[in-house]
Amino acid sequence: MNITNSNLDAAAPEVSASPSNFIRDIIVEDLKTGRYNRVHTRFPPEPNGYLHIGHAKAICLSFGLAAEFGGQTNLRFDDTNPSKEDLEYVQSIIEDVSWMGFDWEDRLFYASDYFDQLYEWAVQLIKAGKAYVDDLSADEIRQYRGTLTQPGKESPYRKRPVEENLQLFERMRAGEFPDGSRTLRAKIDMASPNLNMRDPVIYRILHAEHHRTGAKWCIYPMYDFAHGQSDSIEKITHSICTLEFEDHRPLYNWFVEQLGIFHPRQIEFDRLNLTYTLMSKRKLLALVEKGLVRGWDDPRMPTLAGIRRRGYTPQAIRNFVTAIGVSKTNGMIELAMLEHFIREDLNKRALRVMGVLHPLRVVIDNYPEGQAEEMNAINNPEDESAGSRKVPFSRVLYIEQDDFRENPPKQFYRLSPGREVRLRYGYFITCTGVVKNDAGEVVEVHCTYDPATRGGNAPDGRKVKSTIHWVSAAHALDAEVRLYENLFTTEDPNDVPEGQDFTANLNPNSLQVLTHCKLEPSLAHATAGSRYQFERLGYFSVDPDSKAGQPVFNRTVALKDTWQKIEKRSAASPLKTTS
């Protein structure tokens, strides 16, 4: 298969005036000079784990840039290691990319689709004297490889005759040799300053069942051999990778040049790294396998499945990725910045409701027993089209325990003995007394209400300093609420004392389960994945564990936006520099 750039290209697309970055500038230049007359990208995950928030950046770049230039994007699974791959991962990745809002149409591919072609290309390299079968063990290959400061040493099998290499490679394919006994290596340069060019292994023996090809193969191409050629087969013009693949680019180029096939252009960009967050699939898998989280979709996990379950929106993630941009230097992004974009998006779309997480019973003594009325409540002040709803009000209510203090400190303006507050959408109430249990804890608060203040305003113009939320006890919906904090206690989870691993930084308080929460009855039929703002408390999403009449809510994010405050403070008082 010989493919050149020119025989694949049509007229160049129009270039838009979108905000630029260095990758986009490269694409614009390639179109301008005629290197390519189209844009075709791909997103090529390995199906050895679930995608995480770091992958979201690559997804948005590959699909977004192609769409901007009227091009196409493939979804391809680089499934070259059956010992670590699983159909579960394939299905989860398909779901995640679709959830992010991107469509690969009919362009779903697998590296395993190309195993026959890759084998033929390996044979072509052997015939050209560019590859050989090596009997060195994996440990011996590492020893012969050399170091960053010392050149490698040639294998004693490097000068095998072409015919012998062909015969041995065919016998490897036939399953005559055990795992690890032989490899096929490219013959490049054992003295190269780039270790990837020191006769890399391109095929290894692995008697393992593949999730797509079954037992057809017992030799499998290495990722570095399959990746670039898969791009070439799919006629990818711009192969967008993270920076760790920069040193692999010369090897990819060497393969396509030796084979005389279509040459994609690889461009590397910085990885997305977040504080308090792990981006290693291997370590995330360890958390799952050790039972330290509830699974890949645990809402504390940075996987797309996890943050989707927690209540994050794809639009918020896309906005975040756009805001952080791309560069050629790896850095660290504050988790608070991501949470800012989640709040910003949910503020526009989430319906407001009232829920009490730590209930304290309130009895309004002068409110008629047995009476109930409906209060008009706004669904979303950011969206008039969201309308309003009716919230039941009665003599006995629940409020948050933190909204009452028997002996209030200074600057506490919520409910306390003798103090008047406003009930959201309800009445003014004044505390007249409390009931305590045997331990001296307040378990019930007694109040009076002013009937003239219905809706939250006093006709005489008097003001109160606090408004609190509530739920009618007679109508309250019992619910479980799961409060999530950072999974790790340190900004860099990998920063651990000698002799310990990253699990030493796990946050023992990353999950708090509240089982006696009281919610307004409008949430009785809330469906899994629905998102709400619990007024004054934060944004919450309905968990799939919910059952009819027994909802479970995950806290997506609290209302407090620390990143926005930091940004405003930085803008008001920029850092001084000295020369």
Beta carbons within 8 Å of 416's beta carbon, 6+ residues apart:
404, 405, 406, 407, 408, 431
Tokens of 546: 């919910």
Cβ–Cβ < 8 Å for 205, 133: no
Lookup result for tokens 């999530």: 484
Residue 110's SS3 state is strand
Side-chain-side CA neighbours of 549 within 13 Å: the count stands at 1
Q: Could you list the active site residues?
A: 46, 271, 281
Give which of 234, 231, 242 is closest to 265, Cα–Cα: 231
Burial (CB count within 10 angstroms: exposed 0-12, middle 13-18, buried 19+), residue 466: middle
Task: Write the CA distances from 448 to 401, 413, 417, 439, 476, integer angstroms.
Answer: 18, 17, 11, 26, 21
How many other C-beta atoms can be found within 10 angstroms of the C-beta atom of residue 126?
23
Cβ–Cβ < 8 Å for 512, 483: yes
Maximal C-alpha separation, the chain? 102
Beta carbons within 8 Å of 461's beta carbon, 6+ residues apart:
none
Give which of 179, 192, 190, 204 is closest to 156, Cα–Cα: 190
Lookup result for tokens 């408390």: 537
How many other C-beta atoms can be found within 10 angstroms of the C-beta atom of residue 61?
22
Side-chain-side CA neighbours of 274 within 13 Å: the count stands at 25
Beta carbons within 8 Å of 431's beta carbon, 6+ residues apart:
404, 415, 416, 417, 418, 419, 445, 446, 447
DSSP 376-390: EEES-TT-GGG-EEE
How many other C-beta atoms can be found within 10 angstroms of the C-beta atom of residue 40?
21
Cβ–Cβ < 8 Å for 184, 203: yes
Q: Cα angle vertex 423, ends 514, 521, to 5°?
A: 50
Give the Cα separation of 390 and 58 in Å (integer). Answer: 44
Burial (CB count within 10 angstroms: exposed 0-12, middle 13-18, buried 19+), residue 508: exposed
